[in-house]
Structure 1
Amino acid sequence: MDNTSYFKHLRDIFVSFLMLGLTSFGGPAAHLGYFNQEFVQRKKWATESQFAQWVALSQIVPGPGSSQVGFAIGYHRGGYGGGLAAFLAFTLPSFVVMVLLAKFGQAWQGSVLFEGVVHTLKLLAVVVVADACLTMWRSFCQRKSMMLVALLSAFFITFSPFELASLVVLLLAAVVGMLSPVATAEHTEALPKVRFGYWLLVIALGIFGASFFVDGGLLGVFARFYQAGALVFGGGHVVLPMLSAFVSDTVSDSNLLLGYAAAQVVPGPMFTMASFLGAAVAPSGTNDWLWAAVATLAVFSSGLLLMLSGQNVWQTLSTNVRFRSAVGSVNAAVVGILIAALYHPIASSSVFNGWDLACVLVGFLWLKFKRPSIFLLIIAFILVGVLRSYL
């Protein structure tokens, strides 16, 4: 591939992820639904098997789950440049919004139009995740044993909602897979090997160790936010209180509450709470955007490095028959994780009445039988949100 073709390739990755970064409301599980719809079902950039393994790996290593999956898709499509393009594009919209909120306060709060559009986009998240659950169920739960793994996983996470529930489910599913007949491994597809993947692990661990010897200034901000990203399992909902605790002595309670609330309603990754806090702790007379960028880069870096290095370990193990059998069971558990997330927090935080349920059903039937592009769905739901805000 020549340079011109490669840059066109990167532009396609960047634009695709930018559009999702602008419109992907609903949190990490919803983002996975959008990725599945856009990059697996529509663009065919990856297979269902690869996608499920990326999701499983993102649950096992610490860091921002949906951003890690997006980064892996970008790398798979365009190498390191593709991974970087995917990360920057998906993160940029929420980064800008969070910094502006930190600088200009509560200007958007209370807007009926804004809240109406956000609510209908949350309903769209229900539609997209439901479609992803159904598609992945058909791919990975064809055998009764795998159906049982998926349903038990969903039940466990729903009724045992502690921080590491997803990790526990995946580990138990892996054990079940290794102990079950090896025939469960026959449809498993190995993930591609990552160049210099083991060096990425060395870099990630090296920065983590060095971070404990840095304090104060921009480097101190980078160190503390890097530690947060490296120690968080479970995604955005878990990192928010940790980041808040890091800056509670310099950021007011009202600002923390604003940032906490905004991180859960803006599109894109919740880890951009770091963008808000980075701007909020910037000393007077310094560049808010620079401090926000350093905090944002820090909180994401560890998880993205570990994702690619973990993919290499995963690929190496894939030659083992029992590991492939375990992956088949883990894929089914991933379906259960998504089903649990569909129920809570996605549907439970957005479907409140018959009108909401009707919007979800119409959207799901439209997606299932007409297969419109995700962007057409987004525009339609935005228009519904605008209409509802004036009724």
Structure 2
Amino acid sequence: MIEVFAAFLKLGLTSFGGPIAHLGYFREEFVVRRKWVNDEAFADIVALCQFLPGPASSQVGFALGISRGRGLLGGIAAWTAFTLPSAILLLAFALGAANFSGPVGQGIIHGLKLVAVAVVAQALWGMARTLTPDRTRIGIALAAVGGVVVLDTAIGQIGAIAGGAVLGILLCRDTNAPTGHHLDFQVGHRGALAALALFAILFLVPPLLYGTGNQAMRLFEAFYRSGSLVFGGGHVVLPLLETAVVSPGWVSREAFLTGYGATQAVPGPLFTFAAYLGAVMVPAPSGVTGAVIALIALFLPGLLLVYGTLPFWDGLRRRPTAQAAMAGANASVVGILGAAFYNPVWTSAVLVPLDFFLVLAGFLLLTVWKAPAWTVVLALAAAGAISAI
């Protein structure tokens, strides 16, 4: 267990670049250097975590921890070590954000908002090329944009994902199921079914208690629901969380985008954005308590689904219907992210021509020159500070 924790703590402190980069770090560390698993098993784990909603890189790390630690405690050790560094950094940023009150501080905050625009544009571009490679899936993505524009609520986003899955079953039957070797984890069917049952209970019961006036319950429900619906990578959580916390007035749009920009400057999973949001939440619980509730609630559904699916994945991943549904759902999340890219990301950050230039420069640095995300954060934050002088 100590070995698992130490290995993932190293990665939690050094893994910049987002989910795709994290998978590269994982392969280098656990396939090439430590030889915990072979390439075939690693590819199968990645396929499972891409099939399920949730933060793919954290789910892969959780599964590798289960494999190496021979059980659930190994997975918890891996997740904790990989998540803790960035969560602590973002909590500290949230607690100190009030110090950015002068012109230079406000310029830095505006620069972080511009970072969010560039990063979301990069994610949208990459996901669109991968997940909407044909006219059928482009049409599903466009339909999802229309759905969330017309019905700008969590129900609209859920409906877009569900509708995309149905359209995928009807129209994307030619999607090829992945092949791979047999997966063997120390997860029994009884424990897996218990995890799936707990996932369903936590998804269904908190909304029924939403009107009780318990803000902690509302906070848990909002983040748990968002974590249950994130298909396609960490950036897709942006529109879900924006609907969950900005629409009811718990977090201002400016604070939301500032935190999202700061998230690009820290290593580890993008889902640790939840620690920042929980800390700046109004009303209470906020601070450390809010950060812990939001962080656990956002990650928990994805981890429960991985644990519950591991024993059954070999059979499920080869079913054409499941693959077609995922093709349609993934196309829908491109549309949802596209709608969020315009509002609130673009409309709240790009206010003058200079902002457009800085966003374009950041986007090209990320996509053409392959600059690390943290260097773009520093550059745009500095540009924002200089422009405010």
Query: Pairwise mapping of residues 151-170 of structure 1 onto structure 2 (< 5 A)?
Result: 151-170=142-161
Q: 1:231 to 1:130 in 2, by over 3 A?
A: closer
Q: Which residue of 1 aligns with 2:291?
A: 296
Residues 1:264 and 1:180: Cα distance change in structure 2 (over 3 Å): closer
Measure how far apart 1:358 and its partner are.
0.9
Structure-2 change in CA distance of 1:155 and 1:332 (3 Å): same
Partner of 2:279 in structure 1?
A: 275
Task: Tell me the residue number matched to 2:245.
Answer: 240
After superposition, residues 165-244 of structure 1 pair within 5 angstroms as: 165-186=156-177, 195=187, 196-202=191-197, 225-226=219-220, 229-230=223-224, 235-240=240-245
Partner of 1:80: 76
Q: Counterpart of 2:372?
A: 373
Q: 1:159 to 1:13 in 2, by over 3 A?
A: farther
Counterpart selection for 2:119 from 115, 128, 133: 128
The yes-or-no answer on 1:309 pairing with 2:309 is no
SS in 2 for 1:182: coil
**1:77: how far off?**
5.7
Structure 1 residue 37 displacement after superposition: 6.0
Give the secondary-structure state (helix, strand or coil) at the position aligned to 1:386. helix
What amino acid does structure 2 have at the position aligned with 1:345?
P
Conservation of the 8 A alpha-carbon contact between 2:195 and 2:305: no
Give per-residue Cα distances to partners, 1:241-290, cap 9 Å, x unaligned. Answer: 7997xxxxxxxxxxx78x88645533342564443569967xxxxxxxxx
Which of 125, 129, 137 matches 1:138?
Answer: 129
Runs of at least 5 residues in structure 1 that lack an aligned partner in the other structure = 20-33, 59-67, 213-219, 245-255, 282-290
State the partner residue of 1:11. 9
1: CA distance, partners of 2:254 / 2:48: 30
Q: Percent identity?
A: 18
RMSD: 4.2
Structure 1 counterpart of 2:338: 339
Tell me how far apart the structure 2 counterparts of residues 155 and 52 of structure 1 sit (CA, whole Å): 29
Deviation at 1:303, TM superposition (A): 3.8
SS of structure 2 residue aligned to 1:164: helix
Measured in 1, the distance between the counterparts of 2:122 and 2:372 equals: 13
Superposed displacement of residue 187, structure 1: 6.0
- How many positions carry a matched residue from both structures? 330
Aligned twin of 1:247:
none
Paired residue for 1:26? none
155 and 210 in structure 1: CA distance in 2 versus 1, 3 angstrom threshold: closer
Compute the displacement of 1:156 (Å): 2.6
Alignment partner of 2:336: what SS?
A: helix
Q: Is the CA contact 1:201–1:306 (under 8 Å) kept in the aligned structure 2?
A: no
Q: Secondary structure at the match of 1:381?
A: helix
Partner of 1:89: 85
- CA offset at residue 181 of structure 1? 5.0
Q: Distance in 2 between matches of 1:142 and 1:181?
A: 12
Quick one: distance in 2 between partners of 1:165 and 1:193?
38
- Residues 1:39 and 2:22 aligned together: yes
1:298 is matched by which residue type in structure 2? I
Mapped partners of 2:293, 2:196: distance in 1 = 16
Q: Which amino acid in 1 is paired with 2:300?
A: L
Q: Which moved more, 1:356-365 or 1:38-47?
A: 38-47
Amino acid in the other structure paired with 2:106: E
User: Does structure 2 conserve the Cα–Cα contact (< 8 Å) formed by 1:185 and 1:321?
Assistant: yes
| 1:288 aligned residue | none
* Contact kept in structure 2, 1:56 and 1:170, CA below 8 Å: no
| Cα deviation, residue 376, structure 1 | 1.8
Paired residues of 2:122 and 2:363 also in contact (CA < 8 A): yes
Q: Secondary structure at the match of 2:371?
A: coil
Cα distance change on mapping 1:56 and 1:160 into 2, 3 Å: farther
TM alignment of 1:50-89, pairs within 5 A? 54=50, 57-58=53-54, 68=55, 71-76=58-63, 78=65, 79-89=75-85
Distance in 1, Cα, partners of 2:363 & 2:253: 30
* Residue 371 (structure 1) shift: 0.8
If the length of structure 1 is used for normalisation, what is the TM-score?
0.67
For 1:55 and 1:118, the matched residues in 2 are separated by 35
- Where does the alignment leave 5 or more consecutive residues of structure 2 unmatched? 29-41, 66-74, 208-213, 230-238, 264-272
Give matches, 1:18-33, under 5 Å. Answer: none
Superposed, which structure 2 residues align to 1:252-267 within 5 Å? 262=255, 265-266=258-259, 267=262
CA contact (8 A) 2:157 2:240 kept: no
